[in-house]
Amino acid sequence: MADCETCCSCWTCPHESSSDSDSGDEPPFPPGLMPVRNEGRSRETQRLNTPAVSSECISKPPSLRDTLLSHPQLSMRKQLFCMTGWNLSMHPDMRVRGTREHYSLHSIMEVRAVGKGEVQIRGVDSGLFLAMTKKGRLYGEPDEFKENTVFVETLSGAFYNYLSRKYAHFGWYVGIKKSGKPKRAHKTEYGQRAVQFLPRHPYPLG
């Protein structure tokens, strides 16, 4: 059996390196970075006056299936560059990992809104949706209606973070380690470089 540290298909391996820390020098920035707009900053300071309602008036939120089938979804193609130096990529065999290639077909993502601050991330080449298992592993999911394919997109300074909506109570983020392997969600924390992403143009400019 191959050593987990050198195996190229470790996305299902139960072992992980404990030496892959989040510290170290910042990676060189790749070409094609997109501007990051902190459009939510002004909304954060606004006071919301919500009228009081009884519990009988609160209806169950629509399911993901109902939302996708009843409302048009806005989407944008981009690459997601992790601050550990890797572009997020999704492959037809359902594996998720990082790639150093600037313009790989597997790293072109379609990020679409499915709710306020909530998105799905689809690999354009594979047609799969980024998802998280109950053990905190990232993989490509073919069923777009599964709840574990939804992530809460937040902007922290100049970086985007993607928190699993289904496992938000655990604080589980999408992350890529310095080795390029997906980081187990239970080891992610807000503020780590592994969970910080910058948007990049999906195709070469010019």
Q: Tell me the torsion sign for CA atoms 28, 201, 93, 138.
A: positive
- Listed as ranges, residues in the chain with pLDDT below 70 are 1-25, 37-62, 64, 66-73, 206
Domain ranges of the chain: 73-200
Give the C-alpha distances (Å, rounded to integers) separating 203 from 80, 88, 105, 117, 181: 12, 15, 9, 25, 23
Q: In this structure, is the dihedral angle defined by the CA atoms of residues 81, 84, 86 and 91, taken in order, positive or negative? A: negative
Do 166 and 149 touch, CB atoms closer than 8 A?
A: no
pLDDT digits (tens, 9 = 90+) for 18-76: 445 666 667 777 877 877 764 444 333 334 343 444 444 344 566 767 666 666 568 89
What's the CATH architecture for 73-200? Trefoil (2.80)
pLDDT at residue 206 in the model? 67
